[in-house]
């Protein structure tokens, strides 16, 4: 959509520019005119003044919130602005949550707020922080081995992200089935209740509570703003990259990264797949190993690497353990990734 505003008083007056408003998913056609260097400098000065004015508004709003002041209903939540030097246009970002209860802001309203007639483009989105400083922090993109929460899960609300995956064309990640609990459950990373932490909802789940070959679930990314990546947390500055998957054999050295235990290692201790029965549910074709885990590590990726900093091969998803006493748990078991893919209809991205 192109809105033209031109005003001519004399040859020395500036030629006013088309105001282009970029709506979500719609890119307006280019509009340009030839202007002198003096006019271009004046335009950039006006853009800078307007940009700084909008930034001041955002700072003032943050200060009001910190003082506990009530923000008027319908206030426009600007989240970012910058000047695109290539097109001499002010780029303006508005929090996409605004559209849940309001219509898109009209170009006329934006002009009133800016108090200037400069070229601008408006989009609706989210400001997110990239990075993952700890296994229990907010992470963008979402990676394996970090904390997540399903607050409405009555038994196992906290668990660990396995790895990024795709179900058809839908992006998301895999977690444990008993951690996800049921289709439609909201999944937060690292925890609820802030809406920013909401990653998505459970879209597919294995028959973990009856009989199946994996205890797994697929969580779809609601808005693609925290796209899960096929990496696994190693340190605050390093991540493992998953390059493929396979099924480990007897005595294979395996690693696990859970949000509680961190990274631990052990060996596959049986050449024969096992069957596990728990509270009426049965899991078949599981693999037993002797790595260390704690409550909350459910869903943790199980993998191995050739070098400590190299790419890794994914083996599966940690499910649970067999304990003789609370401190004597000789059998840890995980579901094969090949079974996860079959049960959920997912693939690595």
Using one digit for the tens of pLDDT, what is the confidence trace for 141-178? 999 999 999 999 999 999 999 999 999 999 999 999 99
Task: Say what the pLDDT of residue 320 is.
Answer: 94
Task: Say what the pLDDT of residue 130 is.
Answer: 56
Which of 121-130, 185-194, 335-344 comes out lowest in average pLDDT? 121-130
**CA distances (Å), 226 to each of 128, 221, 222, in order?**
8, 7, 9
pLDDT band at 128 (very low <50, low <70, confident <90, very high): low
pLDDT higher than 50, residue 7? no
pLDDT higher than 60, residue 3? no
pLDDT higher than 70, residue 14? no
The mean pLDDT value of the chain amounts to: 86
Q: Which residues of 258-273 are buried (b: 16+ CB within 10 A; e: fewer)?
A: bbbbbbbebebeeeee
Task: Report which of 232, 257, 275 is spatially closest to residue 318, judged by C-alpha positions.
Answer: 257
Q: Are 323 and 257 in contact (CB under 8 A)?
A: no
Task: Say what the pLDDT of residue 131 is.
Answer: 66
pLDDT band at 9 (very low <50, low <70, confident <90, very high): very low
pLDDT higher than 60, residue 35? yes
How open is the CA angle 154-155-160, to the nearest 5 degrees? 110
Task: Report which of 211, 193, 185 is spatially closest to residue 283, judged by C-alpha positions.
Answer: 211
pLDDT higher than 50, residue 84? yes
Which of 51-60, 121-130, 151-160, 301-310 comes out lowest in average pLDDT? 121-130
Task: Report which of 161, 210, 162, 224 is spatially closest to residue 182, judged by C-alpha positions.
Answer: 210
Task: Say what the pLDDT of residue 36 is.
Answer: 79
Task: Say what the pLDDT of residue 4 is.
Answer: 38
Task: Say what the pLDDT of residue 214 is.
Answer: 97
pLDDT higher than 50, residue 286? yes
pLDDT higher than 50, residue 30? no
Tokens of residue 295, six digits: 């409550």
Task: Say what the pLDDT of residue 173 is.
Answer: 97
- pLDDT over 70 for what percent of the chain? 88
The torsion region of residue 88 among left (phi > 0), alpha (psi -120 to 50) and beta comes to left
Highest average pLDDT, of 227-231, 270-274, 341-345, comes from 341-345
Considering the segment(s) 238-337 as one domain, its CATH architecture is Beta Barrel (2.40)
pLDDT higher than 80, residue 249? yes
pLDDT higher than 80, residue 301? yes
DSSP conformation class of 224: S
pLDDT band at 293 (very low <50, low <70, confident <90, very high): very high
Highest average pLDDT, of 86-90, 92-96, 124-128, 288-292, comes from 288-292
- Per-residue pLDDT, averaged over 88-111, amounts to 91
DSSP conformation class of 11: T
Task: Say what the pLDDT of residue 227 is.
Answer: 81
Query: What tens digit of pLDDT does each residue of 214-243 get?
Result: 999 999 998 776 788 899 999 988 999 999
Beta-carbon neighbour count of residue 197 at 10 Å?
A: 16
Tokens of residue 311, six digits: 């790419």
- Per-residue pLDDT, averaged over 61-71, amounts to 84
Query: What tens digit of pLDDT does each residue of 183-204 get?
Result: 999 999 999 877 779 999 999 9
Please count the CA atoms within 13 angstroms of the CA of 46 that sit on its side-chain side: 18
**CA distances (Å), 223 to each of 44, 91, 132, 157, 330, in order?**
34, 21, 19, 23, 42
pLDDT band at 26 (very low <50, low <70, confident <90, very high): very low
CATH 2.40.10.10 positions along the chain are 238-337
- pLDDT over 90 for what percent of the chain? 62
- Per-residue pLDDT, averaged over 271-286, amounts to 91
């Amino acid at each position: 959509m192109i809105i033209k505003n031109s005003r001519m008083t004399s040859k020395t007056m500036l030629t006013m520019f088309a105001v282009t408003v970029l709506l979500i998913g719609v890119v307006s056609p280019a509009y340009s005119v030839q202007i002198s260097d003096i006019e271009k400098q004046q335009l950039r000065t006006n853009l800078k003044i307007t940009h700084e004015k909008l930034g001041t508004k955002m700072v003032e709003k943050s200060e009001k919130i910190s003082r506990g002041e009530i923000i008027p209903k319908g206030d426009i939540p600007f989240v970012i602005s910058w000047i695109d030097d290539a097109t001499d246009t002010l780029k303006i970002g508005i929090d996409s949550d605004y559209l849940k209860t309001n219509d898109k802001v009209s170009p006329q309203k934006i002009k009133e707020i800016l108090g200037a007639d400069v070229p601008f483009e408006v989009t609706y989105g989210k400001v997110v922080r990239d990075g993952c400083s700890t296994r229990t922090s907010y992470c963008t993109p979402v990676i394996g081995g970090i904390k997540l929460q399903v607050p409405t899960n009555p038994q196992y609300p906290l668990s660990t992200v396995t790895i990024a995956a795709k179900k058809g064309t839908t992006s998301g990640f895999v977690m444990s089935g008993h951690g996800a609990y049921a289709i439609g459950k909201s999944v937060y990373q690292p925890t609820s209740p802030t809406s920013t932490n909401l990653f998505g909802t459970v879209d597919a789940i294995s028959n973990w509570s009856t009989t199946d070959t994996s205890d797994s679930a697929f969580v779809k990314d609601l808005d693609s703003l925290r796209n899960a990546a096929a990496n696994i947390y190693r340190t605050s500055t390093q991540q493992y990259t998953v390059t493929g998957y396979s099924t480990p054999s007897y005595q294979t050295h395996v690693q696990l990264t859970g949000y509680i235990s961190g990274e631990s290692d052990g060996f596959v201790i049986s050449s024969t797949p096992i069957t596990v029965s728990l509270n009426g549910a049965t899991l078949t074709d599981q693999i037993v190993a002797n790595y260390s885990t704690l409550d909350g590590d459910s869903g943790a990726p199980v993998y191995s690497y050739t070098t400590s900093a190299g790419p890794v091969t994914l083996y599966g998803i940690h499910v649970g353990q067999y304990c003789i006493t609370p401190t004597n748990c000789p059998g840890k078991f995980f579901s094969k990734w090949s079974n996860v893919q079959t049960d959920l209809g997912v693939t690595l991205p």
